[in-house]
Structure 1
Amino acid sequence: RVLHDETALKAAMKELLGLGAELVIVFGASAIADRRDVIPAALAGIGGAIEHFGMPVDPGNLLLIGNANGLPVLGAPGCARSPVENGFDWVLMRLLAGLKVTRSELTGMGVGGLLMEIVTRPQPRESLEPDDNRHVSAVVLAAGRSTRMGGPNKLLAELDGQKLVRIVTEHALASKARDVIVVTGHQAELIEKALAGLKVTFVRNPDFAKGLASSVKAGVLAVPRQADGAVICLGDMPMISSDLIDRLIDAFAPDRGNLIAVPVSDGRRGNPVLWSRRFFNELMVLDGDVGARHLIAKHNEVVAEVPVEGDGAFLDIDTPQALEAARGS
């Protein structure tokens, strides 16, 4: 890691080439706008040559390909950091296979269409209204069977004189979320009774025994059409505050590419998670007793991390021991 400075970059590239590197990739601090920018200027400064700048695909259109001492040098576009396949991957795979990437190969990559579909810019054929954080729904998942509790329904257990599911739901109601949807399943009547008097919409999940994913789907299906996104809350996480939900909603900014908002502490990602409507289709194909953590990793480039303190975003009450610990804290 060096300064985004021509002199510093020249020294670093010389050092790598002197150590016998077979390929040099430079990840800049900003996009390469033209041949006078830091990366191309540094390449020229060590006697290298720019072979091609730009690609007819997006993301990946700001890729730079050059050489120094007969070895390939890539100026990576910002999308190189994305786990989603893009133009940078197409070039890198060829170079790693020992294939020369010439101007004709690069221009050929644009045949059939110049734009790849990415979540921040769906293809023109999709008619999507511009979304922002004006309308976010909260979905409280309260359909589980509490198998790890050894019998009792954990959501009906009490903490400071209130049932867990009511604590979570009241936090959601006190937040900036426009509406609150509660997904029920196991002992649905008792859960709904525990939430009596609260202004929520109940949705029953007949497939609750299939696991968490079925409840996520039921909740997503119930989100109003006018909602820009939904924050998915777990009914067994009573330490989640309305303030945290508000901070997630504030961090949700599709116009700046922030399509997923997640709480983070010491590198750990917790709950709840706010999802743009653009991911609802992917949430609808989840299966089993797993959440959507892999989707967060898949779309890491559009994740807004919200720093949090304490264990509230990580503490779910699954066992009698966890419940006793929460009561004693």
Structure 2
Amino acid sequence: MTTPAPLLHILILAAGNSTRMRGGDKLMELVGGQPLLRQLAGRAVATGLPVTVALPPDRPARNAALDGLALTRLTVPDAGQGMATTLRAGLTGLPPQAAVMLLLADLPELTAADLSLMAAAHASTPDQILRATDAAGQPGHPVIFPPWARADLTGLSGDDGARQVLKAHADRLRLIALPGQHATTDLDTPEDWARWRSGRE
């Protein structure tokens, strides 16, 4: 008898400071006529999986951008201490035996179909860490962690995210190719956004 895959939750990390935007907020940049954060969260909700968004306490526009979406919002009071702090806070809001799809909030090309593809891969190999790549094989996001990796994730510190966990368990890592550069288009500066938009015209 096959053991069913553990329940999968999507955790969107949206508590960063956008420091390289020189006063702007990359998560509020318009993509398809709506803020990037809302677009990505909407695509996550469209998968039918439970979605939690980790938010900072001092960005009310991000909170407002999520209005009307069927998801859980989690405020991280000390988000400024780094991504690991946000990750730990987000994980505490999820069921302890759930697998988690970590999704950065600044990936404008990811689609609901991409997220569903990752979820389907998890259903077939629930004990492996799954990391998305672009079509050329460059690792990116999202990343799915099985329940057994939760202890490692909650033990992280600083701003390295989950890199240490991926490195420590490279033997249990499976790469999933997504179309184009969906998994790797990460826009951090006004110049990045300008180049990306000019390439889509």
After TM superposition, the score normalised by the length of structure 1 is 0.56
RMSD of the alignment, in Å? Answer: 2.0
Residue by residue over 1:142-175, the C-alpha shift from the partner in whole angstroms, topping out at 9 and shown as x without a partner, is 1111000000111112122110101110111111
Of residues 133, 156, 178, the one that matches 2:5 is 133
- For the pair 1:193 / 2:64, whether they are aligned, the reply is yes
Quote the Cα distance in structure 2 between the aligned partners of 1:226 and 1:294: 21
Quote the Cα distance in structure 2 between the aligned partners of 1:323 and 1:186: 25
User: 1:149–1:131: structure 2 CA closer, same or farther, 3 Å change rule?
Assistant: farther
Larger Cα Rg: Structure 1 or Structure 2? 1
After TM superposition, the score normalised by the length of structure 2 is 0.90
- For the pair 1:144 / 2:13, whether they are aligned, the reply is no
SS at match of 1:310: coil
Quote the Cα distance in structure 2 between the aligned partners of 1:132 and 1:269: 27
Q: Which has the higher contact order (CA 8 A, sep 6+)?
A: 2
CA shift for structure 1 position 264: 2.3
Structure 1 residue identity aligned to 2:132:
P
Ranges of 4+ aligned residues in structure 1 off by more than 3 Å: none
Quote the Cα distance in structure 1 between the aligned partners of 2:148 and 2:3: 9
Percent identity of paired positions between Structure 1 and Structure 2: 29
Residue by residue over 1:281-301, the C-alpha shift from the partner in whole angstroms, topping out at 9 and shown as x without a partner, is 111111111121232122122
User: 1:158–1:224: structure 2 CA closer, same or farther, 3 Å change rule?
Assistant: same
User: 1:132–1:324: structure 2 CA closer, same or farther, 3 Å change rule?
Assistant: farther
User: Residue 259 of structure 1 aligns with which residue?
Assistant: 128
Of residues 150, 168, 171, the one that matches 2:43 is 171
CA shift for structure 1 position 176: 4.4
Quote the Cα distance in structure 2 between the aligned partners of 1:133 and 1:172: 19
Structure 2 residue identity aligned to 1:206:
P
1:180 and 1:200 in contact (8 A); partners too? yes
Quote the Cα distance in structure 1 between the aligned partners of 2:64 and 2:160: 27
CA shift for structure 1 position 134: 5.0
User: 1:187–1:324: structure 2 CA closer, same or farther, 3 Å change rule?
Assistant: farther
User: 1:197–1:257: structure 2 CA closer, same or farther, 3 Å change rule?
Assistant: closer
SS at match of 1:213: helix
Quote the Cα distance in structure 2 between the aligned partners of 1:188 and 1:201: 16
2:14 and 2:56 in contact (8 A); partners too? yes
1:145 and 1:186 in contact (8 A); partners too? no
Quote the Cα distance in structure 2 between the aligned partners of 1:259 and 1:218: 23
Quote the Cα distance in structure 2 between the aligned partners of 1:158 and 1:194: 11
Residue by residue over 1:54-83, the C-alpha shift from the partner in whole angstroms, topping out at 9 and shown as x without a partner, is xxxxxxxxxxxxxxxxxxxxxxxxxxxxxx
Residue by residue over 1:225-266, the C-alpha shift from the partner in whole angstroms, topping out at 9 and shown as x without a partner, is 452x01011111121111111111111258x57421111243
SS at match of 1:314: coil
User: Residue 270 of structure 1 aligns with which residue?
Assistant: 140
